[in-house]
Structures are given as C-alpha cells and as structure tokens.
A and B are shown apart, each in its own frame.
Chain A
C-alpha cells in the first residue's frame, strides 16, 4: 500500500482562534442543509415537499393552540438535554436518558396507583420528587459500573434503557394494569391532585415548564459561573490537568450521571403527572434519544439548549401535522433528527478549522 494523497481534495487547516461567526452560523446552516436533504427524500418517497415543509416547520408556530403544544413538548426535551449536556461537557456519555425517564415515570406513578383515593396538594410535588429519585437511582447503576467496574457508560446506560422498557411493559401488563381498562396495557387514570397544575388556562402547558426554565438558569449558573462547573469542564477538556489539580474523576462521573438521571426522571414524572395523566407504554416518544441531539445542537450550552429544545419540540408537533396533512410517515422525524445532527457536526468543524485547497507543491528531496 503506498502513500495516499488526494491533491483535488481540500484539507482542514486549524484556525488561529475559534471563529465566533462559525459558532453562531452553525445551527441555522445545519438546519438549512438538513431541510434541503430531507426535501429530496420526501420527493423520492412521493410526498409533496411544499406541503410537508409547511406542516412541519411553519404550522407549529402559526396558531396559539399548536404553539402551546410545542411548549408542552419543549418541557421534557429541555429538561433531559440540560442534564445530559452537563455530563457531555465532562465527557461522560450518558445515552440512557430514555430509561431514566421511564424509571422517573414509574416511580412517580407509584403514588396514584397505590393510593388512588389520596387527596391533597402534596401529591404532585411528591411525585416529581420521586421521579427525580427514580431517574437518579437508575443512572447510579451506570455510575457504579463506570467508576467501580471501569465499564463503558455508553453501553451500560443504553442497555439499561432497553431493560427499563421491558420493566414498564411488565408493570403495565401485570401488577399495575388498570383492572377496568379492557386489558389495555395502561394504568388507572390519575386523580386530580396527582396532576401538575395548568399554567396557561385553555392549554395543557403546566407549572413544570416554569420549573424547567428555572432549572435551565440554574444549569447556566452552575456550568458557566461556578467552580463546580469549572471542575466538570476541565475534567472533560483536559482529564490529565484535572487529575493534577486534584479534581476527582470518579466524583465528576457520579455527579454527571446523577444530574442527568435526576433531570430525565423529573421529565418522566412531569409527563405522567401532566399531559398523559396515567402510566402507559407510549409515555416517551424517544425523548431520551432526541434530547441527545438537542444537547449537541444547543452547543452543550444551557442557553443554546433552550433554543434547540424549542425547535426540536416544534419538529415533533410538525411531524404529527405532516403525518395528518401530507401523509408523511412519523419515522421521517427521526430521519430529520439524525441528518440534522450530522449536518450540525460538519458545520461546527468550521469553528476550529477552515478548508484550504492546496496546490501541489513539488520539492526535491534534500
């Protein structure tokens, strides 16, 4: 095999300093590229691309009714992504948020399922707390495996998500099935006090959205302004430097996973105690995986993530719209998500690099 050289291909050259323009342009450029690519796909499978784009990218913002649904979906995505981003910055790749979300939902559902007659304003806050606990406990398995057993957290957390889905199935087909539910795999409907109060009358948007925004600001304060956030980031960017400075790696992994798991668990609890109102199979439509994309698309920055979560929520609602109005299979949303992340990963390469076309240089050997 001889040396491979391709003079016709441009090469990536490291910039002197990171480009701010490229940082800011990356998300919109990636969105434009992904949209064009997916339009081609819609043409290929015989759908009207104009109708799809209208339904998917514009309709969610055109009426208050549909925008309130966007806000409703923003909640879980934003919450999970904020938690994950903290871990990703510390280079702890928790990709099992889906399972942590499910465990949060299961833990929260325990109160209304075991005590369906209970009343009082303590119920929903208690459920949210249990959700945090459930998600954090599930994530702590991954943390233990990573810190004590040196196991790869990506694989362990993903496997635990698949186990969590089976656990949910088991509960819904067995002990937690609604006895009067015509054998559907779902629990009883929760009582009134088990529901998070509605925030905006006439919509399903509830108080958990405020909580999520408050936690986003907290995430910003911790990650950008505190010593704790600094330690986590150094651990991710320069693990050796973090070691020399005495920052404990195991501690950072535990913290990252507990925060990520707790946030995902809270999101799961807020779903069953909010728009869904019972435990059922379809409590998550892939929020845990979509939130990974949200986190990256937001540049792993708490403020950027607010914008990307809003956009991803609109994409979910838009996907539903396009399914109804343009007969687009719902899987198209996943295709869009995947291609959007790929386009973004290419676009952010230009933050640190620029392309250069080299003319072939001929030199005689010394």
Chain B
C-alpha cells in the first residue's frame, strides 16, 4: 500500500473524532454559545466508553454511556454559563480541566490496556473501484457520522428547528420576543454538543485507537473548535476541514512508513501547526468571518 492509498483508506476514520466534536460545537455556536470545554468533554466520554467496553458492555452501550456522561458534564457548563450568566470562556476552560481531570482519575487503573475495535464494512461495488475504493471500507461509526453530517446540514438548511437555533444565535432578543425561550434552546444545543463530543471521545478510545492512555485526546477537542471557525460555521466546509485534519494526522505515519527522516516531534506537531496556519489564512479575510460569524456568540442573554 503506498502513502496515498494509506491516507485514502484511513482519512475518514481519522477525521471522525474531529467531525463529530465539530458538528456538536457547530450547533452550540449557532445557538450563540461558545463552549471551550470540548477537549474535556471528549476525554470524559472517552474514558467512560473505554471502561464500558473493557468490562464487556459492548460498543453500542459504550457510545450511549459516553454520550450521556458528556451531555451531563456539558449541562454543568450550561448551568454555570447560561443559568448564572458566567463568563463563557472561563466556564468552558473550567469544564475542560474538570473533564480531563475526571478522565485521568477514572482511567488510572486502565492505563495502557487495550480493547477490540470495530470491524470495517465495505460498501458493495464502490469499494471495488481502484484507489478511490479505499474510501468505501469503513466501520459503522464512520458511516453514521457521515449520515449525521448530512442530517445537520439538512436541519440548518431546510427545517424549522434549524431556523429557530440560528435565530437564537443571531438575534436572541428577537427570538425571545416572538415567544421562544432562548435559555431552553441554548441548554438543548449545549447538551447536543456534549453528546457529540462524548461520541467523538468514544470513537477515539474504543474504535480508532482502542488503547487507553491518559491525555489520548491530545488537542483534538481544540482542533474541533478551530474547525468550526475554519468551516465558517457551515456544515459542508466543516466536513472538508475534518477530512483535511484526518489526512494531516495520518501524514506523520505515512511519512515514517516511506522512510522520510523527520523527527517524530515535528510530525506530532503537524496538526497543531496546520491549525495555526489555516486559522491565520481564514481569519485574515475579515469579511468572510463577519458574513458567517454568529452575532451573539459568547454573550449572555438577558431579557
């Protein structure tokens, strides 16, 4: 398998944790809330999922546990940041630290243990195409994530729920005036974001690299938040961004396989460096961010 085939085959799986977490954060930010605790929410979901699978609970139950657990933790964020109108940046950081701490605490006795991942499912016909066919042999979670991407795109583009969420983020006063509860909608959006971050952590811990190591999320939650900005709050672009980061995180392995003599630390920093560079390029176009940015992002709502 050459490097290109390797990247094509693994890109979608590597992209899935980014994609799931970023889709969740997209809904949260579209509702006008900035939750910076994604890294901690992912870490918390990851440890819960790993514990469930390790004790024989199976993958389905592990995703349920991770989704629920991270949703509960994200509701703590909602209580503090929305209920008590605290600074959303500080609250998000606190949730991040708390989630990572809980993850390390619960995961301590599982350090370097492994579990079994999920089998890959090949789509008939499509997976037989030379080269590009590699894209079509993936595990079930990848397929479901693609379906979720489509569903969220449809929700924002065509449904009333999507419109209400967007209105809440763009003009909370107006949404309130016509009878929607801004606080309730934002709570729901945050819980959704928490659930998705939990799924993302679960995928990382029990499917993608089914081995427990403290700090295994390794900045992916932060990159997911950056992805929402890269994607200028648009579902399709966020999907493309997630694929880019999936490919970038595989490039390290691909480079090592081809015998390229680059220090492993450079390869490990590649996703972070790419984040910094892309963030600079996209943000430099102030008009782009102004057009697509969320008007009330991070601001507490007061009647």
Contact = CB atoms under 8 A, between A and B. Distances in A.
Interface of A: 1-5, 12, 14, 45, 93, 95, 141, 145, 148-152, 154-156, 158-160, 162-163, 166-167, 169-170, 173-174, 289, 292-293, 296, 329, 331-339, 341-342, 345-346, 348-349, 353
Interface string B59-74: 0000000000000000
Given A156-B279, A335-B105, A349-B86, A4 B226 contact: no
A332 B105 contact: yes
Interface in B242-299: 263, 265-266, 268-269, 272-273, 275-276, 279-281, 283-284, 286, 289
B283 A150 contact: yes
A3 B289 contact: no
A166 B269 contact: yes
B94 interface: yes
A293 B214 CA distance: 22
Contact of A4 (B181, B265, B268): B181
A296 B275 CA distance: 28
Nearest to A334: B101
A5 B181 contact: yes
Contacts of A93: 89
Contacts of B269: 162-163, 166-167
Contacts of A95: 93
B80 A346 contact: yes
Nearest to A337: B97
Contacts of B13: none
Contacts of B180: 1, 3-4
Contacts of A155: 222, 225-226, 229, 275, 279
A149 B283 contact: yes
Contacts of B226: 152, 155, 159
Contacts of A335: 98, 101-102, 105
B236 interface: no
Nearest to A173: B265
B179 interface: yes
B222 A158 contact: yes
Contact of A149 (B36, B40, B280): B280
A345 B94 contact: yes
Nearest to A353: B85
A159 B222 contact: yes
Query: Ordered nearest first, which 7 A-B pairs have the shortest CB separation?
Result: A338-B98, A334-B101, A4-B181, A331-B104, A335-B101, A345-B86, A338-B97
B211 interface: no
A339 B76 CA distance: 10
A159 B268 CA distance: 12
Given A149-B284, A159-B219, A341-B94, A45 B265 contact: no
B179 A2 contact: yes
Nearest to A4: B181
Nearest to A168: B265
Given A152-B283, A156-B276, A174-B263, A331 B94 contact: no
B276 to A, nearest CB: 5
Contact of B265 (A5, A170, A341): A170
Contacts of B96: 338
B240 interface: no
A345 B183 CA distance: 18
Given A342-B95, A346-B84, A159 B229 contact: no
A2 B181 CA distance: 8
Interface residue range, chain B = 35 or more
B90 interface: yes
A150 B283 CA distance: 5
A3 B98 contact: no
A332 to B, nearest CB: 6
Most buried by A among B94, B281, B289: B94
6 contacts: A3-B180, A3-B181, A12-B85, A159-B273, A159-B276, A292-B90
Nearest to A155: B226
A150 B101 contact: no
Contact of B266 (A45, A170, A296): A170
Given A155-B222, A159-B222, A169-B265, A331 B279 contact: no
B129 interface: no
B101 A332 contact: yes
B138 interface: no
Contacts of B105: 45, 329, 331-332, 335
Contact of B90 (A152, A163, A329, A341): A341
Contacts of B222: 155, 158-159, 162
Nearest to B108: A329
B94 A338 contact: yes
A366 to B, nearest CB: 17
B100 interface: yes
A354 B80 CA distance: 15
Contacts of B1: none
Contact of A331 (B90, B108, B283): B108
A3 B179 CA distance: 5
Contact of B84 (A3, A12, A156, A338): A12
B69 to A, nearest CB: 14
A45 to B, nearest CB: 7
A342 B102 CA distance: 14
Contacts of B97: 289, 293, 334, 337-338, 341
B213 interface: no
Contacts of A333: 101
Contacts of B81: 345
B164 interface: yes
A338 B214 CA distance: 17
A149 to B, nearest CB: 4
A159 B95 contact: no
B225 A145 contact: no
Contacts of B145: none
Interface string B123-147: 0000000000000000000000000
Given A4-B181, A296-B90, A337-B97, A345 B102 contact: no
